[in-house]
């Protein structure tokens, strides 16, 4: 297992090195520029190129799936505000809960169903806690956020225990 992780890390470093080359050329790293570079000279970026699907019939379907997933993620609805608040709050209409992601092709659950099902709501809280922990690591260089993350994580930890 260690050897597999080491190999994966090495490949990741090679991809990062190629992205750094593109970033230096353009001053910032944009997906559009990276794709243009890889399409123009795949042999100059073998580690990125090898991870892309070059069969247009397959890539077209994958792209459309990606578009649908993005549409699902940005679809919103208005639900009644939590206790003691008046009005409505804008929320995502669907969530991909961890059990949904274990299904072939993934899946999403309507927020309304999650809010009315104790187990699904608890899973949403567990997923939110994991997301917060990831964000805490991602933004650990922003010292001003550390106490906010600690407090939010403490609240969710009480909820999911």
Tokens of 151: 């407090």
**pTM for this one?**
0.73
Beta-strand pair 88-92/94-95: unpaired
- Would you call 53 helix, strand, or coil by DSSP? coil
* pLDDT tens digits for range 56-74: 999 999 999 999 999 999 9
**The pLDDT value given to residue 5:** 63
Residues of the chain with pLDDT under 50: none
* pLDDT tens digits for range 120-143: 999 999 999 999 999 999 999 999
**The pLDDT value given to residue 81:** 87
């Amino acid at each position: 297992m260690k050897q597999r992780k080491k190999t994966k890390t090495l490949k990741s470093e090679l991809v990062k090195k190629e992205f750094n080359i593109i970033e230096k050329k353009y001053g910032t790293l944009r997906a559009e520029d990276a794709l243009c570079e890889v399409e123009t000279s795949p042999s100059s970026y073998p580690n990125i190129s090898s991870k892309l699907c070059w069969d247009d019939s397959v890539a077209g379907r994958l792209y459309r799936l990606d578009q649908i997933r993005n549409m699902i993620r940005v679809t919103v609805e208005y639900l009644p505000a939590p206790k003691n608040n008046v009005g409505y709050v804008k929320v995502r209409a669907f969530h991909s809960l961890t059990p949904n992601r274990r299904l072939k092709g993934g899946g999403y659950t309507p927020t309304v169903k999650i809010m009315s099902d104790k187990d699904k709501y608890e899973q949403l809280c567990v997923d939110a806690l994991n997301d917060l922990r990831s964000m805490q690591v991602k933004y650990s260089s922003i010292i001003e956020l550390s106490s906010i993350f600690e407090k939010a994580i403490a609240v969710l930890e009480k909820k999911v225990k």
